[in-house]
Structure 1
Amino acid sequence: MNQPAVPATPPKPPAPPPPLEGGRLILATIAVALATFMNVLDTSIANVAIPTISGDLGVSVDEGTWVITVFAAANAVSIPLTGWLTQRFGQVRLFVASILSFVLASWLCGIAPSLPFLLIARVLQGAVAGPLIPLSQAILLGSWPKDKSSTALAFWAMTTTVGPIAGPALGGWITDSYNWSWIFYINIPVGLFAGFVTWNIYRNRESPTRKPPIDIVGLGLLIAWVASLQILLDKGKDLDWFNSPVIVGLGVVALVSFAFFLVWELTEPNPIVDLRLFGQRNFLGGTIAISVAYGVFFGNLVLLPQWMQEYLNYRSVDAGLVTAPLGVFAVILAPVVGRILPRSDARVIATCAFVLFAVVFFMRSKYVIEIDTFHLVLPTLLQGIPMALFFVPLTAIILAGQPPGRIPAAAGLSNFVRVFCGAVGTSIATNAWNNRTVLHHERLTEQASIDNPVFRQSIENTQTVLHLSEPSARALFDFQLTTQAAMMGLNDIFYISAIIFLAIIPLIWITKSTRGGGGGAAGAH
């Protein structure tokens, strides 16, 4: 009589390689951090060079802004694919391939003879950069001992914090002193070094791979809704938002494809993006908190130098230097946070960060048009403190309890939402500032009538003192009103930003208490 077949025991997943030690750990951390820095730097370094690039390539500035838009759209699409790509190719091979492809794309950007060539190179650059940030988190967490995982996240946070801050200042200096091509060429030596070191240290520490089916429908829907929504956000202001049929069309495509994407990915056995991660309390609360906060922070980071250049007559490089002190405390305190996090509740540290962010924005809401550089720099310098307390604890909360094999997917999805909220926050902040400026300008001009004796006397005094004609005096008056209205509108944005930071604190507290870092290094109690 035949015995019933005994079901085979599924093989256990291979044990992760042991942590690195000594000089290899330091060198590996530097290489991974440089690859991350190279990526985040390119999200902002080209912004200040757009007028110069447009002039050299013989296009308008509006056309030149596509250099920013196409990079952001391609990057936004590729980030959430990190988990699926890691399963198929392995995190080390994917990370090194992304670095070297980024180097190639940067070289193509630098030699671009025309705008279409540059845009194609920027699309490639944005697409291959997607896996770099999530994989850097996963690789660093696997390189450090579990009890030091918060220190690994601190080093990662230093690079992701400093990159967007250094970008405008570095881009302005390179463009003014050399040639705009060098904002892309500087990636070549950095990327080659990072790729060479990473491959030599990690090639024998590859993660397990398998070949999941390709979710072609999910991939197509992802590209459709992310790309259309990213372009809508970037070009909405230039095209007068929903008064433009182009923006309406993009909005419809984004909405419909996003709805189908949600339904498909939640029912697909092998989804291209694992949306089921949002079923975890820590991932849900931590991702929403870090993403909304980053959107508010990044939106303000874009507005501040723009206001200084338009209304305070700062050069682009000087405006970048005013925002640069933001990285001082962020770099100094990040290792400190890495040390105290294992003995602390990450939710308490993140809450302190949000409160301090609110304080900084309240300080900024008191700006006046006569403000000097010191009072511009002071809140920026202080903002580095909550920046140091911001990324590490929330990243630890998001990745808490994730097995090593799931970290790339979790990091990819959370970083996608964060980066996307940065684009949304920038668009909302820019549009809101414009609307508030118009509103304040209307209110300030209500009494500016020739029938008002005070207004008439003011115009006459200006004519007398400055020896101006009446039309010139009126033009000067309107310029002063516009400057004041812009200041008041910006103060409104700062004040609302402070309120938002306080309002999202409860999101932190829907998560479970975590101690010790992220990923497999920390459980959720």
Structure 2
Amino acid sequence: MSAASKNFAPPELPAPLQGGQLVLGTVALSLATFMNVLDSSIANVSLPAISGDLGVSPVQGTWVITSFGVANAISVPLTGWLTQRFGAVRLFTTSVLLFVLASWLCGFAHSLEMLVACRVLQGLVAGPMIPLSQTLLLASYSRAKAGTALALWGMTTLVAPVVGPLLGGWITDNVSWPWIFYINVPVGLFAALLTWSIYRERETAIRKLPIDGVGLALLVIWVGALQIMLDKGKELDWFASGEIQLLALTAAVGFAFFLAWELTDEHPVVDLRLFARRNFVFGAATLSLAYGLFFGNVVLLPLWLQQYMGYTATDAGMALAPVGLLAILLSPVVGKNVSRFDPRMMASFAFVMFAVVLGMRANFTTQTDFATIMVPTILQGAALAFFFIPLTTLTLSGITPERLPAAAGLSNFVRITAGAMGTSIATTLWESRATLHHQHMAEQLSLGNPVAGETVAGLRAAGFSQEQAWAQINRLIDQQAFTRAADDIFLASACIFLLLIATIWLTRRPAAVGASVSVDAH
């Protein structure tokens, strides 16, 4: 028996699937995962259209993304308890069906408040889908092919963020933004039907355990307060606002009580003792920080392209789409060889590639053409292929079967929360840096810059009034300011990726040859 099977194949499940059932089972689980991850990115390029239609600013519109991420993060840790209470197959199928319903309601939203509420519901019911899809998929394959199963699962999570902006852009430009949610309905119904028909006889054992209500309430309080603080900080001038101070205090106190309660409760909603494991703590931390950086930049790029480069939603999606080329080609190779080579080397290569990509983007200007923008996007596919699989391998290595659902849920919780926070931090810093750059450039004009005078004179000669001429100049300054601000974010992110390489090497290399996710249990 390989170490991979010890780590990933739940002992309650029957023997692996064979033939057509294996193919269809993989398709069903992949579709559900694809749909879930897709919804974390499909709205990115549609934010300007959604914001305009609902009468809010693009920065306020980012709540459409962050609300889903935070709700999803809160519900993910409950996967272990819910699985034991209702069974993995029944829970997964129900989650998919409820996700379909929530998606349908999102399409009907006619205000930002209603849309955010529906996205919260969507995120809550989506929580168990990703951990359970990973568990069921790995249990569907023979023990010798655990690495292949992990690669297939990893490809699904990589392709969806790529297809999301492209599909979202096309739908927004050619149909209407509600359809980015409506498309989940047929996909989800098909995935749920297929999953139930194949896996209903492979249900896991059911045990009735008490729910840690206090721990869950504290989790909701501190995560929610922290996220709202990050989202509202720029708008309310951060700690100059009493509301932000209250949110920060609530998040800090809630987190402290959450830690104390979870470490002493008999049936904690989150098994924090997993962080006592060296590989889990450094692996989950590295994966989450890197994912937060990655996702923040994924949101920022299409916003910049659409708001200040004149790109349509479809064009912005096309600028992001080529990232899937190398990711799809290389992911199976990484999955097959992650046990042969040191996964720490693979992850380090991914971070170097991320730094190179972001360093290239840090040189973007208002004159950068479409082809130049696509080059780092294509290279980023290689970074993605070497990102998820090795870091997941390191994080979950040595975890015993009975603790695997809790470990998968906790690592996904930290990662998803980091992604939502990354979005908030990136957009907030972008606005802040743009304001600073705008101020510096405007100061130069106010000092009697001859170029500004000539520009105003030229615009006046072209028929513009004095106010119209200065308004046109202000728009040009805005374009330059937000471009420089985006460059600042890209460059800072590149440097952080290089620094994160050190944390990868704080983990131990998996010791078992032929197992994709196993090391000694020490």
- How many angstroms apart in 2 are the aligned matches of 1:444 and 1:487? 13
Match 2:290 to one of 282, 289, 293? 293
Question: 1:189-338 counterparts in 2 under 5 A?
Answer: 189-338=186-335
After TM superposition, give the deviation of residue 269 of structure 1 in Å: 1.8
Equivalent position of 2:162 in the other structure: 165
Are 2:471 and 1:475 aligned? yes
Match 1:342 to one of 336, 339, 355? 339
Equivalent position of 2:501 in the other structure: 505
Contact 2:173 2:312 (8 Å CA) reproduced: no
After TM superposition, give the deviation of residue 177 of structure 1 in Å: 2.5
Contact 1:81 1:412 (8 Å CA) reproduced: yes
- How many angstroms apart in 2 are the aligned matches of 1:274 and 1:518? 24
Match 2:185 to one of 183, 188, 196? 188
Are 2:324 and 1:352 aligned? no
Contact 1:513 1:524 (8 Å CA) reproduced: no
What whole-Å deviation, never above 9, does each CA across 1:201-236 have from its counterpart, x for those lacking one? 222322333222221110110111122222332333
- How many angstroms apart in 1 are the aligned matches of 2:375 and 2:53? 37
- How many angstroms apart in 2 are the aligned matches of 1:56 and 1:491? 29
Gap change, CA 1:203 and 1:243, over 3 Å in 2: same
Contact 2:338 2:516 (8 Å CA) reproduced: no
After TM superposition, give the deviation of residue 367 of structure 1 in Å: 1.4
What whole-Å deviation, never above 9, does each CA across 1:188-208 have from its counterpart, x for those lacking one? 221122112222222232233
Contact 1:357 1:501 (8 Å CA) reproduced: yes
Equivalent position of 2:440 in the other structure: 443
**Backbone CA RMSD of aligned residues:** 2.6
Structure 1 residue runs of 5 or longer lacking an equivalent are 1-12
Contact 2:65 2:420 (8 Å CA) reproduced: no
- How many angstroms apart in 2 are the aligned matches of 1:522 and 1:204? 32
What whole-Å deviation, never above 9, does each CA across 1:132-177 have from its counterpart, x for those lacking one? 1111121122222333222211111112122223223322322332
Are 2:392 and 1:419 aligned? no
Equivalent position of 1:74 in the other structure: 71
Q: Which moved more, 1:167-176 or 1:237-246?
A: 237-246
- How many angstroms apart in 2 are the aligned matches of 1:184 and 1:260? 37
Q: Radius of gyration: which is bigger?
A: 1
Contact 2:456 2:466 (8 Å CA) reproduced: yes
Gap change, CA 1:363 and 1:406, over 3 Å in 2: same
- How many angstroms apart in 2 are the aligned matches of 1:488 and 1:56? 28
Equivalent position of 1:138 in the other structure: 135
Equivalent position of 1:4 in the other structure: none
Q: For 1:511, give the aligned amino acid.
A: T
- How many angstroms apart in 1 are the aligned matches of 2:54 and 2:226? 27
- How many angstroms apart in 2 are the aligned matches of 1:451 and 1:354? 46
What whole-Å deviation, never above 9, does each CA across 1:341-379 have from its counterpart, x for those lacking one? 121111111111111111111111111211100000110
Gap change, CA 1:511 and 1:131, over 3 Å in 2: same
Q: For 2:147, give the aligned amino acid.
A: S
- How many angstroms apart in 2 are the aligned matches of 1:467 and 1:27? 66
After TM superposition, give the deviation of residue 62 of structure 1 in Å: 7.4
Gap change, CA 1:62 and 1:487, over 3 Å in 2: closer
Are 2:382 and 1:385 aligned? yes
Q: For 1:43, give the aligned amino acid.
A: S
Match 1:104 to one of 82, 101, 105? 101
Question: 1:455-470 counterparts in 2 under 5 A?
Answer: 455-457=452-454, 459-460=456-457, 463=460, 466=462, 468-470=464-466
Q: For 2:311, give the aligned amino acid.
A: Y
- How many angstroms apart in 2 are the aligned matches of 1:498 and 1:23? 44
After TM superposition, give the deviation of residue 265 of structure 1 in Å: 0.4
What whole-Å deviation, never above 9, does each CA across 1:3-25 have from its counterpart, x for those lacking one? xxxxxxxxxx9565322222222
Match 1:95 to one of 88, 92, 105? 92
Q: Which moved more, 1:450-459 or 1:30-39?
A: 450-459
- How many angstroms apart in 1 are the aligned matches of 2:365 and 2:56? 36
What whole-Å deviation, never above 9, does each CA across 1:285-326 have from its counterpart, x for those lacking one? 111111111111111111111111111111122111111111
Contact 2:398 2:520 (8 Å CA) reproduced: yes
What whole-Å deviation, never above 9, does each CA across 1:51-92 have from its counterpart, x for those lacking one? 655666687877765544443332121011112222222222
Question: 1:388-407 counterparts in 2 under 5 A?
Answer: 388-407=385-404
Are 2:153 and 1:177 aligned? no
Gap change, CA 1:312 and 1:65, over 3 Å in 2: closer
What whole-Å deviation, never above 9, does each CA across 1:112-137 have from its counterpart, x for those lacking one? 56666544433322111001111112
Q: For 1:174, give the aligned amino acid.
A: I
- How many angstroms apart in 1 are the aligned matches of 2:129 and 2:86? 14
TM value normalised by structure 2: 0.90
Q: For 1:480, give the aligned amino acid.
A: L
After TM superposition, give the deviation of residue 109 of structure 1 in Å: 2.9
Corresponding residue SS for 2:444: coil
Contact 2:288 2:419 (8 Å CA) reproduced: yes
Q: For 1:83, give the aligned amino acid.
A: G
Q: For 1:81, give the aligned amino acid.
A: L
Match 2:482 to one of 480, 483, 486? 486
Contact 1:155 1:335 (8 Å CA) reproduced: yes
Contact 1:393 1:517 (8 Å CA) reproduced: no
Contact 2:70 2:223 (8 Å CA) reproduced: yes
Gap change, CA 1:176 and 1:440, over 3 Å in 2: closer
- How many angstroms apart in 1 are the aligned matches of 2:170 and 2:270? 39
After TM superposition, give the deviation of residue 435 of structure 1 in Å: 2.3
- How many angstroms apart in 2 are the aligned matches of 1:58 and 1:348? 48
Contact 2:319 2:374 (8 Å CA) reproduced: yes
- How many angstroms apart in 1 are the aligned matches of 2:94 and 2:485? 45
Equivalent position of 1:10 in the other structure: none
Corresponding residue SS for 2:506: coil
Gap change, CA 1:258 and 1:21, over 3 Å in 2: same
Gap change, CA 1:126 and 1:443, over 3 Å in 2: same
Corresponding residue SS for 1:343: coil
Contact 2:12 2:204 (8 Å CA) reproduced: no
Gap change, CA 1:271 and 1:64, over 3 Å in 2: same
Q: Which moved more, 1:176-185 or 1:128-137?
A: 176-185
After TM superposition, give the deviation of residue 246 of structure 1 in Å: 3.2
After TM superposition, give the deviation of residue 397 of structure 1 in Å: 1.0
After TM superposition, give the deviation of residue 180 of structure 1 in Å: 3.4
- How many angstroms apart in 2 are the aligned matches of 1:120 and 1:483? 33
Contact 2:366 2:480 (8 Å CA) reproduced: yes
- How many angstroms apart in 1 are the aligned matches of 2:129 and 2:409? 9
- How many angstroms apart in 2 are the aligned matches of 1:179 and 1:473? 35
Are 2:374 and 1:370 aligned? no
Contact 1:450 1:456 (8 Å CA) reproduced: no
Match 2:43 to one of 46, 49, 57? 46
Q: For 2:472, give the aligned amino acid.
A: L
